[in-house]
Structure 1
Amino acid sequence: MKKLLYILLGLVMLVVVAIGVLVAVINPNDFKPLIADEVKKATGRELVIDGDISWRFWPSLGLSVEKLAFKNPQGFAEPNMLKLDRADLSVAVMPLMSDTLDIGLVSLYGAHVFIQTLPNGQSNLDGLTGDASTTDSEPETASQTPTTEPASDSQAATAWTITIGGLDVVNASAVVRDDKVHTISEISQLNLHIGKLTTGTWVPVEFDVEGKQNAMVFTAKGQMEAMLNKVAMESQLRKLSLSASLNDANIQLDSLSLTADQVALAMPAALTFSAKGKANDMSFDTSGKASVLVDKSIANIQATGIDISTLLAGASLPRPEMNISLKADAAFNNNTQKLTLSQLVASLDELEVDGHASVALADIPAVRFALHSSKIDLDAFLGNTTEAAQPAVSKPAETKPSSAPNDQSATAIAKAPLSDVEPDLSALKGLDIAGEIAIDELVANNVKVSQVKTAFAVNRGKVNLKQFDAKLYGGSVSAEGSLDATVTPARYRVTKDIKNVNVQPLLMAAANEDILSGRGSIDVNVNGVGLSEKRLRTGITGTVAINFADGSIDGINIPEMIREAKATLKGKRADYVEEARQTDFSALTATFNLGKGIASTRNMKMEAPALRIRSEGQTNLVSEDLDFEVFVSVVGTSKGQGGKDIDELKDVTIPVAIGGTWQAPSYKLDVKALLTSNKVLEEKVRKEAERGLEKLLGDKAGDDKVKNVADKLLKGLFN
């Protein structure tokens, strides 16, 4: 046994002495020309070694190379594709005897890589596969026979075990420049350390890097442990910790961190992350966690327990600070390219929605969702006051009957011209979205609705409102509509049905106006071309039908006007009676026809106590002028609004002219029309006038000339 040991020791000493003699006798620098020639043949490029190639004998056989440069062809911005200050490599001697190539630590110092693509698409990577060698080497002839390695050598090579003791990259840099698309990426400094690369053991990995991508400057550093496997997809990472920062004109990422307990196929990874910085004028601070599982085929990726919280702050936000949170489970199918979100709960401060959603990736991602919220109060969220803003113009002052033309100069309101600029809807052409939203309670512009259900779709520029149903102030509202943004100007269609709504609280909430009360129903069926302010009024066509019951019109007291009319007929002044300026009604109906910028009606009717009212006229939707004639008939009852004072005008029609504008409407009694359109009144006035002339003229009242003058005066009154 001792003899065998001595023999082995002698062989080892023999090998060591032989290697020592080899190192002492052979100068590796003598091989520089040979190495350069072989590289030239293989790549067509020059390899320049300006420094020494030196052996290292102890504790392992090693080799060191200094000042190495791999040249670029002519025409590129830098002369070298690869430049290296120094490279060290060692090989353990003893394992060589057992078919093991044990490479020690590989160290690279001052490495610099330069990759460039010229405007014509040519790259300094072109020709490195060996194709270029045929242009610089001798062409093959028929007499040349390729050399084939013996099968035994190939089999022997596969039997060797190769290990690498580690890799150190110190102060490396790189530039990737693409002049064709005008981009440049640069790593100004890279330090990398990888422990001994052996399969089945955990290998430490550390790195730090600094660089920039065009105008964006970034830094990153990290550490982890890696377990390599002969099957690459079965390799694993653990104890992963990464941090980074970046800065450019639009975003400043002060800090970004990512941790994972492990990363491997078919094994769940607990991930955490955080990020803090600014984007334009908005700052953000976000953090989150999730458990991620990727199957072995990488066909399915699941993320459960997603929990992300973000704090936003900035002057452009509705609030100085806003909290956003997202909780969900996610699944991505790599085969169908579909992402599914389930158990979704998202909130923006006090606004919260839940539901599920999916995104199918394609040329235009297809987004589908179903969301629900118990309450959305946009007024509280946006900081609006609880009361609606006061109207710009107060209710018009009481207008006495007058035959003088209505002067609107005092109440004229400066109004900016309507814009004819169409909104940019091009973004809708890149959307494929469909979904449903349910809201138990919604508050917007001080208007409260409940049980909101809506379904809509946006498909490549065409918007379809399939459903909108809600409860509104004791009644209901439903609507459907469509918008076609694939044509210019856009076209739209809307149908809306409002039933049995309590009108007064709705108007008070929406506009702080109580001009109308009662239970109201409105049917809208319109379509139009164009969405600019002007086209919305000039391009709309269709009908709007209204039906109100058991209410009143505020701001006009028609019975009071009747009393004024009665007093006018008697040549007296009506007694002032303190009562509300409103007209009660049991029914109010009308159909408005829309077209060419005009809304007109010929069938507006109102039934009120002691009164029957009909109206016809129009309003200009652009200038907002009003031009309506209202005809009031007394039906002969002393009950209800008006009383005995108007019974005497039974079967008399009283015209009221409504003019002015939407902001400042005016009402006046048309005395001339009152007298000329009612024969009974005309006869009464004629008799009253004749009696007045008799008292005034006495005996001369019977004179024919005086009668002729009186007749002319009376005719002038009625014509």
Structure 2
Amino acid sequence: MKAFGKFLGLGLLGLLLIIVALGFALTHLFDPNDYKDEIRQLARNKAHVELTLNGDIGWSLFPWLGLELHEASIATLNNPKQPFADLQMLGLSVRVLPLLRREVQMSDVRIEGLNLTLLRDEHGHGNWEDIGKPLPDPNATASNQPAPAEGAPAQPSAQAQASSERAVKLDIDSLTVNNARVQFTDEQSGKSYGAESIQLSSGPIHDGVNTPIKASAFLSASEPNIKARTELVGDLRFDRKLKRYSLEDMRLSGETSGEPTAGKTVTFAAQGQVLVDLGANVASWSGLKVSANQLRALGELSLRDLDKAPQISGGLSIAQFDLRTFLDGIGHPLPATADPAAFAKLELVGRLQGTQNSIAMEDLAVKLDQSTFTGRVAVEDFAKQALRVQLKGDTFDADRYLPAKSDEAKGAKAARQAEVKQQEASAIAGAGTTPLPNAPTQVAWSNDKLLPVDRLRALDLQADLSFGALTLDKLPITDAQLKANGQGGLVTLETLRGGLYNGTFEAKGTVDVRPAVPQLGVNTRINRVPVEHFIKRESPDQAPPVKGLLTLSSDLTATGNSQKALIDTLNGNASFTINDGVLVNANLEQQLCQAIATLNRKQLSGEPRAKDTPFQELRGTLVVRNGVASNPDLKVRIPGLTVNGQGDLDLRVLGMDYGVGVVVEGDQRAMPDPACQVNERYVGVEVPLRCRGPLELGAKACRLDQDGLGKVAAKLAGNRLKDKIDEKLDEKLGDKVSPELKDALKGLFKR
């Protein structure tokens, strides 16, 4: 037995030496470069590809089956002169003996200068689809195709092939790709995409073992024009039997620029643990960290139903960042706002839900500057840009986020303020002795565009917002609720309501941007809100012309896309009542006193005293036509006095022109000056006033109407003459005639 073992060992050693000798002889005496034509023909017949070998072939046999190709290219048989892939060098070695066990054990695999060109033609056919396909036989038909020989082995099924592939064990020491390039061109869309200077290196590649990888490339796209530099590192792990693939400790970084960023460079990074399980049709990204310039986000994402309709879920948190600076850095700057510091602070956290066509942030918490919002924001259809918003905020100052006024608008405002100041300087409060102010001429409104028409036409919106405190046009609204929807260019404000200075208001309306010129309609209800808060003033310290509790109902329409255009085309109706009010710095009693002194042909002894005139009620209706509101029935109730008026409010220049009559109802109160003592002769007499000038002046722009006052004086003189005649008749006739005859004689003088 010992001798047999000895002879067996010597035999095996001899066999090994013979194999080594054969390998040496084959690799040194046999040159594969002499058989390039046979190799090309073999590639045509078996692999159905056109193989071009311009460089040398290097090889080894045992214990490694080594192969090294230089200057090679591959094309389809349909288009052999246009290779879809070429390379400068491919080097690999396969251990021979493990192949007998269906194990692929490779040493280092190196690929240098790979150039992959993919093309989809105008018919949608890709050149890669013909790889491995033989040329069609022009003489073959479906009826004369040769039938499989009897007893020939059947072709293996796809399931059997897949099982065979899964049984092969892959084992590679390392993979290195240098200076590779991939170019894809789609002639149908005219778009192209590319990856250049691709560098890839890996550690040992084994099934079920972490493989360190590092890759970098320069990416590009034609429409839109984008360029990016990327680098990826991580540990790749795969299990082909379970169809599980993971990239642990993944770190992706780089920078990009192009048309979407207006040529500005954006630095980005992402990291986390990525898992794809094709067996369970799920994927996940845990420990997610993403950054783009100064934006930082954390979270976790998961995908399910990968084989059907993938659905995404997870959580996302974005740390506080400057939204204005960020958007400017990615080439999408925000328009200038009334407050330059608006959008300086933004942070959010929420739960993400999405499908292929939609995305939603549930349980959303957002902090924008000094405001906090909670609720839901979703895009229910990407194609339709269907935006759905349900948010509840604590406080929000909307004025800060309105577009900043242009220089033209600022100039127009300054010009009108100068005109108002000039008129106010010449109007002595309550005196009524200066000339009547001129009607204003400066336009009070801006030509700046108000509405983003193109965006509104594409908008599909449903919004439901509420605020604990909302500031809008400097009005502090409490418990505000806003509901709006928009689709196809028609935006409907279902309601905007809330509390305002212990009163209430509600507005409804529509914005129709489907026509070339936008059309607006608004319906407003205001209940017992202090009117002074609606009156524009140059500064908060400036006194308003009138105070009181306003109740207003209006229904108005307008067309245009600027303040000026909307006011110029404003039409509709309104009614208003102001209760428990005050005409500020306007003493109607002083105006009345001046009129009575004039009728008494006396001079006032004291200087006019500027003080307010309280009133019980001021009411009227407005008919608005092209920016001019006609008020035919102004009524003001003042204790002892009634004020009637009619006139126009020119909203285009915020001017007024009124005729006003002040009537003494019978309260013969003590006047501040003996020259204007009221007696029974003035009861029921209407003293005429004319009010003209900027609306901000209020009653300070009112003066005695001298022409009307002359008519009143003539009427009073006639009444005085009649009284004297009646008195004389009573003295002369006494009881000599009957009362009926006496009245008849008095009636003659009335005529």
- Relative to structure 1, the CA distance from residue 365 to residue 551 in structure 2 (aligned partners, 3 Å threshold; closer, same or farther) is same
Which of 370, 376, 394 is the equivalent residue of 1:374? Answer: 394
Tell me the residue number matched to 1:86. Answer: 89
The superposition leaves residues 149-168 of structure 1 with CA deviations (integer Å, 9 ceiling, x where unpaired) of 73599979938624241432
Contact 1:401–1:671 (8 Å) recurs in 2: no
Judged with a 3 Å threshold, the aligned counterparts in structure 2 of structure 1 residues 536 and 149 are, in CA distance, closer, same or farther, namely farther
Q: Could you list the runs of 5+ residues in structure 2 that have no partner in the other structure?
A: 277-281, 405-412, 726-751
Change (3 A) 1:201 1:588: same
Equivalent position to 1:451, from 476, 479, 482: 479
| CA distance in 1 between partners of 2:382 and 2:228 (Å) | 31
Contact 2:443–2:652 (8 Å) recurs in 1: no
Contact 2:62 2:96 in 1 (8 A): no
CA shift at 1:53, angstroms? 1.1
User: Identity of aligned pairs, percent?
Assistant: 20
Alpha-carbon shift at residue 45 of structure 1 (Å): 7.1
Deviates more, 1:541-550 or 1:665-674: 665-674
Amino acid at match of 1:193: S
Deviations 1:151-186 (A, max 9, x none): 599979938624241432112123334566554433
Q: Residue 163 of structure 1 corresponds to which residue in structure 2? A: 170
Partner of 1:556: 586
For residues 237 and 89 of structure 1, the distance between their equivalents in structure 2, rounded to whole angstroms, comes to: 25
**For residue 744 of structure 2, what is the aligned residue in structure 1?**
none
> SS in structure 2 opposite 1:150?
coil
1:651 is matched with which residue? 684
Shift of 1:634: 0.7
Q: What per-residue deviation string (whole Å, max 9, x for no partner) do you get for residues 112-138 of structure 1?
A: 2234567x5687727724667227x88
Q: 2:297 aligns with which of 281, 288, 299?
A: 288
Per the alignment, residue 545 of structure 2 pairs with: 515
1:69 aligns with 2:66: no
Which letter maps to 2:622?
F
1:597 CA drift (Å): 3.7
Q: 1:100 aligns with which of 83, 93, 103?
A: 103
Q: Which residue of 2 aligns with 1:52?
A: 56
Say whether the 8 Å CA contact 2:93–2:108 is kept in structure 1: yes
- Asked whether 1:240 is paired with 2:250, we answer yes
Mark the CA change 1:142 to 1:456 in structure 2 (over 3 Å): closer, same or farther.
Answer: closer
Tell me if 1:36 matches 2:40.
Answer: yes
Q: Structure 1: state its 5+ residue gaps.
A: 277-284, 691-719
2:269 aligned residue: 257
Letter in 2 for 1:275: A
Given that 1:403 and 1:670 are in contact with CA atoms closer than 8 Å, whether structure 2 keeps it comes out as no
CA distance in 2, matches of 1:380, 1:492: 24
Change (3 A) 1:664 1:687: same
1:66-465 map, 5 Å: 66-70=70-74, 80-116=83-119, 125=127, 128-129=130-131, 133-134=135-136, 142=144, 150-151=153-154, 158=164, 161-165=168-172, 166-178=174-186, 181-214=189-222, 215-230=225-240, 233-248=243-258, 250-253=262-265, 255-264=267-276, 265=282, 269-276=286-293, 285-295=294-304, 297=306, 299-312=310-323, 313=325, 318-319=340-341, 322-333=344-355, 337-377=357-397, 391-392=417-418, 393-394=420-421, 395=424, 397-398=427-428, 408=438, 413-415=441-443, 425-465=453-493
Q: Alignment RMSD, CA only? A: 4.2
In structure 2, the CA distance between the partners of 1:68 and 1:424, relative to structure 1 (3 Å rule), is same
- Corresponding letter in the other structure for 1:548: I
Paired position in structure 2 for 1:468: 496
Q: What amino acid does structure 2 have at the position aligned with 1:27? A: D
Distance in 2 (alpha carbons) for counterparts of 1:97 and 1:9: 20
Residue 593 of structure 2 aligns to a residue whose secondary structure is helix
Residue 130 of structure 2 aligns to a residue whose secondary structure is coil
TM-score normalised over the length of structure 1: 0.81
Q: 3-state SS of the aligned residue for 2:566?
A: helix
| Pairwise CA distance, 1:407 | 7.2
Report if aligned partners of 2:398, 2:471 keep a CA contact under 8 Å in 1. Answer: yes
The answer to whether the 8 A contact 2:84-2:128 is kept is no
Instruction: Please say if 1:499 is aligned against 2:499.
Output: no
3-state SS, counterpart of residue 33 of structure 1: helix
Query: Within 2, Cα distance between the matches of 1:124 and 1:246?
Result: 29
Deviates more, 1:490-499 or 1:654-663: 654-663
* TM-score, normalisation: structure 2: 0.78
Which letter does structure 2 place at the counterpart of 1:287? Answer: R
Q: Which whole-Å deviations, capped at 9, do the CAs of 1:86-128 have from their partners, x for residues lacking one?
A: 111211112133343434433211112234567x568772772
SS in 1 for 2:678: helix
**Shift in Å, 1:458:** 1.6
Compared with structure 1, are the counterparts of its residues 594 and 178 closer, same or farther at alpha carbon in structure 2 (3 Å cutoff)?
Answer: same
Who is 1:713 aligned against? none
Cα distance 1:228–1:44, how it changes in 2: closer, same or farther (>3 A)?
A: closer
Are the aligned partners of 1:353 and 1:373 in contact in 2 as well (CA < 8 Å)? yes
Q: Is the 1:445–1:510 contact (alpha carbons within 8 Å) kept by the matching residues of 2?
A: no
Query: Letter of the aligned partner of 2:269 in structure 1?
Result: S
| SS of equivalent residue, structure 1 residue 134 | coil
In 2, the alpha carbon distance for the partners of 1:520 and 1:163 equals: 85
The residue type paired with residue 581 of structure 2 is G
Distance 1:195 1:5, change over 3 A: farther
Amino acid in structure 2 at the alignment position of 1:330: L
**Partner SS, residue 252 of structure 1:** coil
Q: Deviations over 1:23-74 (max 9, x none)?
A: 3454322332133335556898753211111212465120111111336999
CA 327–529 in structure 1, closer or farther in 2 if over 3 Å, else same: same
Q: Following superposition of structure 1 onto structure 2, how do residues 457-606 of structure 1 map, counting pairs within 5 Å?
A: 457-504=485-532, 507=535, 512=540, 513-533=543-563, 535-606=565-636
C-alpha separation in 1, matches of 2:535 and 2:446: 25
Counterpart contact for 2:599–2:713, Cα < 8 Å: no
Q: Could you give the per-residue CA deviations for residues 547-595 of structure 1, whole angstroms, max 9, x where no partner exists?
A: 1111112353222111111222233333334422543211111110122
Q: CA deviation at 1:505?
A: 5.1
Amino acid at match of 1:504: E
* Paired residue type of 2:706: V
- Measured at CA, do residues 391 and 452 of structure 1 come closer, stay the same or move farther in structure 2, by a change above 3 Å? farther
SS in 1 for 2:264: strand
Indicate if the aligned counterparts of 1:625 and 1:659 stay in contact, CA closer than 8 A. yes
Aligned counterparts of 1:355 and 1:248: Cα–Cα separation in 2: 35
Residues 469 and 479, structure 1, Cα contact 8 Å, conserved in 2: yes
**TM-superposed deviation, 1:531:** 4.2
Q: C-alpha distance in 1, partners of 2:145/2:440?
A: 106
Any conservation in 1 of the 2:490–2:514 contact (CA below 8 Å)? yes
The change in CA–CA distance for 1:176 and 1:575 in structure 2 (over 3 A counts) is farther
In 1, the alpha carbon distance for the partners of 2:673 and 2:488 equals: 64
Q: Deviations over 1:291-337 (max 9, x none)?
A: 22333657432222523432353696623982321111112245xx4
- Contact in 1 for aligned 2:315/2:352 (Cα 8 Å): yes
